[in-house]
Chain A
Amino acid sequence: MANEGLRDNETLSSLKNESETLKCKLEEERAKLHDVEPFLSVFFFQQDGKVIVWDAFTTNKEHAVTMPCTWVMACAYAPSGCAIACGGLDNKCSVYPLTFDKNENMAAKKKSVAMHTNYLSACSFTNSDMQILTSSGDGTCALWDVESGQLLQSFHGHAADVLCLDLAPSETGNTFVSGGCDKKAMVWDLRSGQCIQSFETHDSDINSVRYYPSGDAFASASDDATCRLYDLRADREVAIYSKESIIFGASSVDFSLSGRLLFTGYNDYTINVWDVLKGTRVSILFGHENRVSTLRVSPDGTAFCSGSWDHTLRVAVGHQRTRPPAKFIFHSGPERPPQFIKSSATAIIHADSPC
């Protein structure tokens, strides 16, 4: 988009008005097709900065990589399970090949892939080990080639820090959603770098976004203490998961395998489980002694893992309050995103940050 000056009959305020008018029209169009009102009545749901890979089932540590930077904020597992990516306050995303050879120093083989101008908030491999998608405090997302470190595509549009991203599970797999401090969730086309859809209904920072398993919708968790479901085909928000008693921000969301349940972690140390379709809360889980900073359901849907500032990762099954968490893992730093490895159900990767 070239930096043109004003044309005849255009002034800054006329452009602004035009933009605002279009925005209103768009909302009207979206509202016209919203024939579900209210939703509920029509349908009857380290101190030293380490990255650690745990075998969640046996709770044994499989790998540990010491990071040179002090705050690690993002980590991801490669689809093959042979490498991990992480980054944070160092503004970079680095890829470490995993090895079971005790003699090898994993940190030595690290590859610096992404370079942002501010902290790295999230990263994710695309369909292979060779490409990484990152989001940053500098307000942009970017797609990188791992081998060369080349920037393949950048995504501009957020007006403030981008805090989270998630790749679509769709058949063509070419989009992703990002959430930021500007309260917007934006859907991007990987190929063109364009923003396809944008949603701005939250009242505060969006901390986490996750696609619904079919790829037709996504959920977001925000500091405004609500989680919301956005439908991509209807192009609007279709559900809000909130309660008067929930007054602390939500930090993370994930769906159960069928998409019927939504697990959400909050800054009030609890995990709430919602019925996605009915919009009601199914259960509330206690146990963590500090903020729940992150949460993921395992790829085979058998359990979910929550990480917290109380230095533990807890794996829990089901949503019944009486069932105790199945496994406990204690660690020395407040937890940043754990991710289940895709190929096996049992390994967890998480990043450690100093208190």
Chain B
Amino acid sequence: MQADFGRFTHAVMRAAPDSLAAQALRSGPAELQVDIEAVRREEEQYVSVLEKTLGLRVVRLEADEELPDCVFVEDPAVVCGNTALITRPGAPSRRKEVGEVMFAKPVDATPVTATLDAGTPVVATPFFVGLSKRTNRRGAEILADTFQDYAVSTVPVLDTLHLKSFCSMAGPGLIAIGSSEAAQKALKTMQQMSDHKYDKLTVPDDLAANCIYMNLPDKGHVLIHCTPEQFPESAKVFEKLKDHMLIPVPNDEKRKVDGCLTCCSVLINKPSKV
């Protein structure tokens, strides 16, 4: 595990377009109503946490009505260290999102042709790439070629879009994992593949396992996780983490369009010195 794991200085975000409410891709029932205003409220809260609470520099991109899913900036790029892998999102409607994100990222970017949703990999050692309908094996290989310092392992993700839909890093050596069968199965795979022994933080709700860990100079361990309102039981689990600075952030509305906490930003560590 890298010493600077979880250290970020910048966040790239993108405003939600109005088209999100009606046109954004969703795995749930299409008739589910999305309140775009609620989405934007969540967005503001999110930005506020990053900027004001955590002191990150947030780069906000303009919304593009042509790209209803553009708010989920995580998918077009995988960023690790000083390298960003610009992906070719598995959903055709989202591939145009890549361009602007690439320009926005203050890091080296590598274009990719394979299908890969950046939301797929869990950055750990090794990288875990969930093989799903949004990410194929070729994408994982490209990822491996790009981040050659890391081992890349694939994890079959059956039902959900992304591995991150039920799994994320909640700290160094700590995996937050949902309690569904698929999640637990994936966890086993990851544990076997990993060179390190990971502790697991099992939360009752798969979606709640999607959290954002940061390790910031002044704040120590920071964890942005679901709110008690959204996932009461899972929130209790997070609250047991004593060493973390816990910041619940609502994500209820975006969830309707498969939005996760991690989806809404790309975190970058780019110290000013270099």
Do A and B make up one complex? no
B residues apposed to A, CB below 8 Å? none
